[in-house]
Amino acid sequence: MKTIKDMPQHSRPREKLREKGASALTDKELVAAILGRGVKGLDVVAMSKSVAKLIRKHKENLSVEHLTSVPGMGLAKAAQILSAFELARRYLLKETVKITNAKDILPLVADIADKKQEYFVCISLNGANEVIEKRIVTIGLVNSSQIHPREVFADVIADRATAVIFAHNHPSGDPKPSESDAKTHRQLTEAGKILGLHILDHIIVTKKGYFSFQETGLIG
């Protein structure tokens, strides 16, 4: 494997970044640009290849322990990588959305309010009721959508969420929950309890308005 010293000056990560911008660099080159140099007996190119693999594998769950498992990666170099991640999270990634009531949810599900089919959406939240992710779980027929707890909670568990919000639309325009809605809600609530997840709300949206299970006392 080529080392940094073997590369032409213009092909080295930091010089390439200066000439073409960060977006022109591969994952491995971006890591090398952050680290700068390797350690005795181990060039930064080899280290960066291993680190880039860990980043792709663990993403936001990348830890000091993961990084220091790479030969040559001590605490100082691991801190460089994780500090770059944290700065990007704070200033470049999507703004954190915190849920305090049903009206905070509505902008997140406005896109399904006028759909002709029934969309069932699951929103995972952390312990501060901040949105981690919003996902469409199923797209059903005009008046029905088959929901299974396994499909709903699989990604929520992967998110390490502590709470969840359900939402779906009624193409009919009437936001009042049907008996089928109530049954689905009960099944998901029971499954959530077993998994240790708090059901924060269940919202039904239409073009004319919304119905909140929380606001109407249907969530304990």
141 within 8 A of 169, measured Cβ to Cβ: no
Provide CB contacts within 8 A for 143, sequence distance 6+: 118, 171, 172
CATH architecture of residue range(s) 102-212: 3-Layer(aba) Sandwich (3.40)
87-91 — which CB contacts under 8 Å span 24+ positions? 89/60
185 within 8 A of 177, measured Cβ to Cβ: yes
Q: Tens of pLDDT along 199-213?
A: 999 999 999 999 999
DSSP code per residue over 71-107: TT--HHHHHHHHHHHHHHHHHTSPPP-B-SSHHHHHH
pLDDT < 70 regions, the chain: 1-6, 8-10, 93-95, 141-146, 220
Q: Tens of pLDDT along 20-58?
A: 888 888 899 999 999 988 888 788 888 999 999 999 999
Neighbours of 40 (CB within 10 A): 5
129 within 8 A of 98, measured Cβ to Cβ: yes
The sheet that has 119-125: what strands, in order across it?
131-139, 119-125, 163-169, 198-205, 210-212
- Which sequence spans correspond to the domains of the chain? 4-91, 102-212
pLDDT at residue 9, rounded to an integer: 67
Total residues found in the chain within this entry: 220
Q: What are phi and psi of 15, to 5 degrees?
A: -70, -40
Distances from the Cα of 116 to the Cα of 134, 140, 180, 209, angstroms: 20, 10, 18, 16
Q: Tens of pLDDT along 75-86?
A: 999 999 999 988
pLDDT at residue 147, rounded to an integer: 83
Alpha-carbon Rg for the chain, nearest whole angstrom, is 23
In the chain, the amino acid numbered 133 is E
Residue 155 in tokens: 């990604």
Neighbours of 174 (CB within 10 A): 13
pLDDT at residue 4, rounded to an integer: 60
Q: Which of 27, 39, 133, 126 is nearest to 85 (CA)?
A: 27
Give CA–CA dist 190/87, Å, rounded: 39
